Amino acid sequence: MSKLLIINPGSTSTKIGIFDGNTEVASHTLRHEASVIGSFHSVIDQYEWRIEEIKKVLADQGEALDSFDAYVGRGGLLKPIKSGTYRVNEAMLADLKKSIKGEHASNLGAMIAQGLATEYGKEAFIADPVVVDEMEDLARISGNSQFEKVSIFHALNQKAVAKRYAKENHLNYNELNLIVVHLGGGISVGAHKNGKVVDVNNALNGEGPFSPERSGTLPAADLVEISFSGKYTKGEILKMITGKGGFVSYLGTNDAREVENRAEAGDVEAKKIYDAMGYQVAKEVGSLAPVLMGKVDAILLTGGIAYSKMMVNFIKERVEFIAPVVVYPGEDELLALAEAANRVLSGEEEAIVYE
């Protein structure tokens, strides 16, 4: 049985798991405030800080860093690739260091896993990175020949909970039509048709509902106006879309719990913005029903904000006319990463080579 360290960097958190085979021995979630994340110039600049935070957690747990057989990270913004387990290699690290597809905390997953694997002479893996691409051709058309829609979303957790739903109901994921909503620091809403995510909003770069730290779809012409107003740098505009959008822009926090507490305490603005996010999520779910020809087996709500009864109920009452709503609060990402690495380590599956 392999002992694994799982490293899952998100936009508002770092989640750490210690697994013995597919059994979780311990897990820990570090939540990061918007002001802390915002103090770094780039995601790569967070490398040392995140690794130190991970080391502190392991030290507290009395776990030696060299006691693991392999290190498994969440996969980041690579070239569009198929679902599966990948061994971290030089081509992957080079693309991540160049940020070929942009910046997101998940880029650090492979880097941290490889950093530790190199230090201790072990192996490093990623699985189902945020760029898993199963989109149908029609979903790629943006409306202007200069732009193409791309698949960037919570692939790991969306697929993990969809497979969990199938298993729990003795159904086959490859025969189901599901709409899966991940409610995290970013929000993605995906149409799963027969085991493939055929359409999904680009959860990172200005598409879909707004989220705790992202603006989602913005009025395009107004965005052009502000970009050429001379008041902001390109970097500042990009941060408005990702990092300083959504709750951060309206309310100064990326913490949905704080927004909910403020709303419950009578803060009218907090309530309006919280509800507006649910409203946009419900609209996005509705937009995917025609993709599945109206034949939706279930709508699955997951991610950190799916712990919120207030948010879940708000969305549920607007979309359950489409299909039954099933809630999986949090995420299955740590287990999904452990299982993915174990399939390779046990010889059940070959790791895919990233090129």
Ligand X SMILES: CCCC(=O)OP(=O)(O)O
Ligand Y SMILES: Nc1ncnc2c1ncn2[C@@H]1O[C@H](COP(=O)(O)OP(=O)(O)O)[C@@H](O)[C@H]1O
The span from the CA of 304 to the CA of 309, in Å, is 12
Residue 246 makes contact with ligand Y by CB under 6 A: no
Which residues are paired to 6 by β-bridges? 17, 72
Query: In sequence order, what are the residues at sequence separation of 6 or more whose Cβ sits closer than 8 angstroms to the Cβ of residue 214?
Result: 185, 186, 187, 203, 204, 206, 241, 242, 243, 245, 246
Q: Which of residues 291-350 bind ligand Y (CB under 6 A)?
A: 303-305, 307-308, 331
Residue 56 makes contact with ligand Y by CB under 6 A: no
**Binds 204: which of ligand X, ligand Y, none (CB < 5-8 Å by kind):** ligand X
Q: Which of 138-146, 180-188, 283-291, 346-354 is the region at the interface with ligand X (rule: CB under 6 A)?
A: 180-188
Q: Got the DSSP string for 262-323?
A: HHHTT-HHHHHHHHHHHHHHHHHHHHHTGGGTT--SEEEEEEGGGG-HHHHHHHHHHHTTTS
CB of 198 or CB of 256, closer to ligand Y? 256
Residue 184 makes contact with ligand X by CB under 6 A: yes
**Binds 216: which of ligand X, ligand Y, none (CB < 5-8 Å by kind):** none
Amino acid at the residue 254: N
**Binds 104: which of ligand X, ligand Y, none (CB < 5-8 Å by kind):** ligand X
Longest dimension (CA), the chain: 59
To ligand X, the closest distance from the beta carbon of 252 in angstroms equals 18
To ligand Y, the closest distance from the beta carbon of 349 in angstroms equals 26
**Binds 232: which of ligand X, ligand Y, none (CB < 5-8 Å by kind):** none
Whether the CB-CB separation of 261 and 189 falls below 8 Å is answered with: no
Residue 325 makes contact with ligand X by CB under 6 A: no
> Dihedral of CA 13/16/22/23: which sign?
negative
Binding mask 132-171 for ligand X (x = CB under 6 A): --------------------xxx-----------------
**Spacing of C-alpha 317 from chain mean position:** 25
Among 255, 284, 332, 339, binds ligand Y (CB under 6 A): 255
H or E stretch covering 31 = strand 23-31
Q: Which of 232, 173, 239, 183 is nearest to 208 (CA)?
A: 183
Q: Which of 204, 194, 112 is nearest to 150 (CA)?
A: 204
Binding mask 195-224 for ligand Y (x = CB under 6 A): -----------------x------------
CB of 245 or CB of 344, closer to ligand X? 245
Query: In sequence order, what are the residues at sequence separation of 6 or more whose Cβ sits closer than 8 angstroms to the Cβ of residue 322?
Result: 179, 285, 286, 289, 294, 296, 299
To ligand Y, the closest distance from the beta carbon of 211 in angstroms equals 8
# binding residues, ligand X (CB under 6 A): 13
Residue 209 makes contact with ligand X by CB under 6 A: no
Binding mask 335-354 for ligand X (x = CB under 6 A): --------------------
Q: Are strands 123-127 and 70-74 parallel, antiparallel or unpaired?
A: parallel
Question: Look-up: residue for tokens 């200069």?
Answer: 146
Residue numbers of the site for ligand X (CB under 6 A)?
A: 10-11, 104, 106, 130, 152-154, 184-186, 203-204
The contact set with ligand Y (CB under 6 A) reads 10-13, 184-186, 212, 254-257, 260, 303-305, 307-308, 331
